[in-house]
């Protein structure tokens, strides 16, 4: 079992390197164009169009852009929660009050500067938007490897909360298979500039 786990972990590390290298080739124009289309595609999902509270994140670097989506959700009156990284890699949450309320934080992140609501605030979300690098046909997501969202998903599971889990990616990041470990949770849907796809019964 230990050998299998190590193999899955090294396979994840290799895939992460490949995907991050591909993202580094994207131009600013590529990223901006994809972000605008992603926002439109995401808002077409019934889960998002009917949500009252969405736990999201601020994209940085060459991640698929979320800022247009965050502003569109807020304009629609949706309560948007954004993560605040804690020293132990867990996530606190704070409300999104617009681009002007974002402050630079560690690891190149942008975080809301408003009131902290506590790690359990995510339990109120109807939808959780997850960052990622890839997803496969089973809905298994490859994250960045920091473990923060593993804690969020474990917290949701322990509380019996079942928000829609949605990952935003570029078109070529929907993979044939993503290596998984026992703690990994499948997502319900992926949104790319080309469209959206649901997994399982969600």
Residue 58 marked as a ligand binder: yes
What residues have CB less than 8 Å from 98, skipping those under 6 apart?
71, 74
Q: Is 139 annotated as a binding residue?
A: no
12 is known to lie in a ligand binding site: yes
104 annotated as belonging to a binding site for a ligand:
no
Residue 59 marked ligand-binding: no
DSSP percent split of the chain into helix, strand, coil, nearest 5:
40, 25, 35
Is 142 flagged in the annotation as binding?
Answer: yes
Residue 14 annotated as part of some ligand binding site: yes
- According to the annotation, is 147 in a ligand binding site? yes
The verdict on whether residue 148 carries a ligand-binding annotation is yes
Strands lying side by side in the sheet with 189-192 = 91-95, 79-85, 53-55, 127-130, 164-168, 189-192, 195-198
The answer on whether 40 is annotated among ligand-binding residues is: no
- d(Cα 128, Cα 44) in Å, to the nearest integer? 16
Tell me the binding residues for ATP.
Answer: 12-16, 141-149
Tell me the binding residues for substrate.
Answer: 58, 63
Tell me the binding residues.
Answer: 12-16, 58, 63, 141-149
């Amino acid at each position: 079992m230990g050998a299998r786990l190590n193999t899955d972990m090294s396979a994840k590390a290799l895939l992460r390197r490949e995907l991050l290298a591909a993202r580094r080739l994207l131009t600013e124009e590529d990223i901006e164009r994809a972000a605008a289309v992603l926002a439109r595609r995401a808002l077409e999902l019934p889960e998002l169009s009917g949500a009252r509270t969405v736990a999201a994140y601020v994209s940085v670097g060459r991640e698929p852009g979320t800022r247009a989506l965050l502003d569109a959700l807020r304009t629609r009156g949706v309560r948007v929660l954004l993560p605040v990284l804690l020293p132990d890699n867990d996530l606190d949450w704070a409300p999104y009050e617009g681009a002007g309320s974002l402050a630079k934080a560690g690891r190149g992140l942008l975080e809301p500067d408003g009131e902290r609501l506590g790690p359990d605030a995510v339990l109120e979300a109807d939808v959780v938007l997850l960052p990622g690098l890839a997803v496969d046909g089973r809905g298994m997501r490859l994250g960045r490897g920091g473990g923060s969202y593993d804690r969020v998903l474990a917290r949701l599971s322990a509380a019996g909360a079942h928000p829609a889990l949605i990952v935003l990616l570029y078109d070529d990041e929907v993979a044939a298979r993503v290596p998984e470990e026992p703690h990994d949770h499948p997502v319900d849907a992926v949104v790319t500039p080309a469209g959206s796809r649901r997994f399982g019964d969600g």
